[in-house]
């Protein structure tokens, strides 16, 4: 009977964790392997619900499908990362250092991302598996130079 109770309790806890992160799905435009230079070569992997070295997606804010603010959590350490989409192959990110939040306290974008400023230094990420983009349409035309 005790084993059965532990199984039910464990299943319930897993269901609660899955439900709490169910709304935090990272958009396809951010997913993949990204290269950046951050005092050394860095490869960042982003999938549907996590970012390498940052943890799992806890909360996400979508600004017109151009900018995304995401809280990643790992061992009660919460990191705020703001992604600015430049092209399908280039992202910029602004990142706030880890914030430790005690169990039971609120984890929200307003709290964790409180002092993320637009004028902070940006880190540029380049897609490792890039998508070819035709740039000709943006430069075609008749030009007169004087």
User: What's the pTM?
Assistant: 0.76
- Chain centre to alpha carbon of residue 51: 6
Burial class, 112, CB count within 10 angstroms (exposed 0-12 / middle 13-18 / buried 19+): buried
Q: Which helix (H) or strand (E) holds 112?
A: helix 109-112
Domain ranges of the chain: 2-129
pLDDT digits (tens, 9 = 90+) for 117-127: 766 889 999 99
100 pLDDT above the threshold of 80: yes
Cα-trace Rg, the chain: 20
- Chain centre to alpha carbon of residue 139: 32
Task: Supply the pLDDT for residue 12.
Answer: 43
């Amino acid at each position: 009977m005790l084993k059965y109770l532990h199984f039910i309790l464990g299943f319930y806890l897993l269901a609660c964790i899955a439900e709490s992160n169910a709304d935090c799905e990272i958009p396809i435009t951010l997913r993949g392997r990204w290269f950046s230079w951050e005092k050394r070569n860095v490869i960042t992997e982003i999938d549907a619900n996590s970012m390498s070295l940052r943890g799992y997606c806890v909360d996400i804010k979508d600004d017109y499908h151009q900018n995304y603010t995401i809280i990643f959590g790992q061992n009660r350490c919460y990191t705020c990362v703001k992604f600015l989409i430049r092209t399908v192959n280039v992202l910029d990110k602004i990142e706030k250092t880890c914030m430790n939040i005690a169990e039971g306290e609120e984890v929200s974008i307003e709290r964790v991302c409180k002092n993320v400023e637009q004028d902070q230094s940006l880190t540029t990420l380049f897609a490792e598996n890039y998508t070819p983009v035709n740039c000709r349409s943006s430069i075609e035309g008749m030009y007169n130079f004087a």
